[in-house]
Structure 1
Amino acid sequence: MFKKDEYALPIQRLIDAVDKNTAVNFAILCAERVLPLYETQFSEEKRVADGIAAAYQYLNNTIGVSQARKAAFASHSAARLAEKGSAARAAARCCGHTAATAHCKEHAIAAAAYAAIAIEIAEGSEGKLKEREMQHNTLLNLAERK
C-alpha cells in the first residue's frame, strides 16, 4: 500500500510501544499539518476536518469509538472528492485514519504515511523526508512523556 522509507519501521515500532491516546495525539499532529492541502481545494467540505475533531473528542471522552469510526468513514468518503493521486486525497485519508486511531492505534501508522504522501505530492521527495523525520522525532518525544 505504501512505499517503505527509512522511517516506516521505526515509526511502526514506536506506535506499537505507546498507548492508544499517545497514538491518537500523534495522528492528530500529522493530520493538522496536511489538512490545508485538502481545504484549499474543498473549503466547504467539513468531513475531513471533522475527522481530526473526532480524534480530539475521543481524547476528551466526549465521543466513543463508534462515533470516531463514523467520522473516519465520512472523511474517507470526502477523500473520494479529490483526484486520485492528489495531495488533497492523501491528506483526507490521513484525517480519516486519525479518527480511526480511536478504534485501533495502528491506524496512526497509516495517518503518518498518508501525511508523508500528501507532502511528497505537494513538495517533492525532500519534503517527504523532512516530514518523516519530524514524525519520528515527534513520536519519540510523545513516547518519552509517558
Structure 2
Amino acid sequence: MTSDPDAPLLTIEDLRPVARWAADCAERALPIFEAKAPDDTRPREAIAASRAFADSGMRTAALRKIAWAAHAAAREAGDPAAAAAARAACAAAATAYTHPIASSHQVNHILGPAAYAAQAIALSAGEAGHGEAEIHWAIAQASPEVRHVVQRMPERAPGKGQLGALFLQLEIGLRR
C-alpha cells in the first residue's frame, strides 16, 4: 500500500472513533471517582465532551477547558484510584487534541484513557489482575479504526511500574 507523503498522519475523522472508545474506557472507571467525590462532575463532563466530539462535535476551547478541569479533579481527588479515574476522563476529552505527528508521545494520548481506567480499577480492587482484565476489555472493544490509528503511530517507549505495564499491554494488543 502506498501512502500519500503529503497526507496528514491523523485527521479529525480518525480521532472521532478514538474519542468514542476513550469515553467508553474512561466511563468504566468513573464510579470510582464519583464514590470519592460525588459532587464533582468534572470527569463526567469530560467523558460527555469526548462523546460529543466523537459524534461530529468540534474541537473548541470549551472542550480543552473541560479536559483541563478533569485533570484538576484528578489532582484534588485525594485518592490514587479516584485520581486515575479522573485522569482517564481528562485523557478521553483530550483525545480530540492528539497531534497529527509521528511521535511516540502522541500514542500516550490515544492509549491514556484505557490505561488510566485500568489503573483506577486495579487500585480500587487492590490487585493488578483487575487492571489486566480491564486492558483485555479495552482491546476487545477497540474498533478496527482505533487499531488502525494506533498501528500508524510509532511505538511508545516502555514505561515503568504498573501503569507502564498497562500501557505496554494495551499497545501490544492494539497493534495485533
Match of 1:103 among 89, 97, 102: 97
With over 3 angstroms needed to count, the CA separation of the structure-2 counterparts of 1:29 and 1:69, relative to structure 1, is: same
Cα deviation, residue 67, structure 1 = 2.1
The 8 Å contact of residues 95 and 110 in structure 2, kept in 1 or not, is answered as yes
Instruction: Give the gaps of 5 or more residues in structure 1.
Output: 1-15
Residue 36 of structure 2 aligns to a residue whose secondary structure is coil
The 8 Å contact of residues 28 and 55 in structure 1, kept in 2 or not, is answered as yes
**1:71 corresponds to:** 66
Cα deviation, residue 143, structure 1 = 1.2
**1:10 corresponds to:** none
Return the alpha-carbon distance in structure 2 between the equivalents of residues 65 and 144 of structure 1. Answer: 23
Match of 2:121 among 109, 119, 131: 119
The 8 Å contact of residues 51 and 95 in structure 1, kept in 2 or not, is answered as yes
Aligned length: 127
The 8 Å contact of residues 54 and 63 in structure 1, kept in 2 or not, is answered as no
Match of 1:132 among 135, 158, 172: 135
Moved over 6 A (4+): none
Return the alpha-carbon distance in structure 2 between the equivalents of residues 128 and 113 of structure 1. Answer: 8
Task: Using the TM superposition, name which of 19-28 and 64-73 deviates more.
Answer: 64-73
Match of 2:84 among 85, 90, 94: 90
Which protein is bigger by CA-based radius of gyration? 2
Deviations 1:73-107 (A, max 9, x none): 000011111125x1100000000000000111742
TM-score for both structures, normalised by structure 1 = 0.78
Return the alpha-carbon distance in structure 1 between the equivalents of residues 110 and 32 of structure 2. Answer: 19
TM-score for both structures, normalised by structure 2 = 0.66
**1:13 corresponds to:** none
Return the alpha-carbon distance in structure 1 between the equivalents of residues 84 and 55 of structure 2. Answer: 26
**Percent sequence identity over aligned pairs:** 33
**1:42 has 2:26 as partner:** no
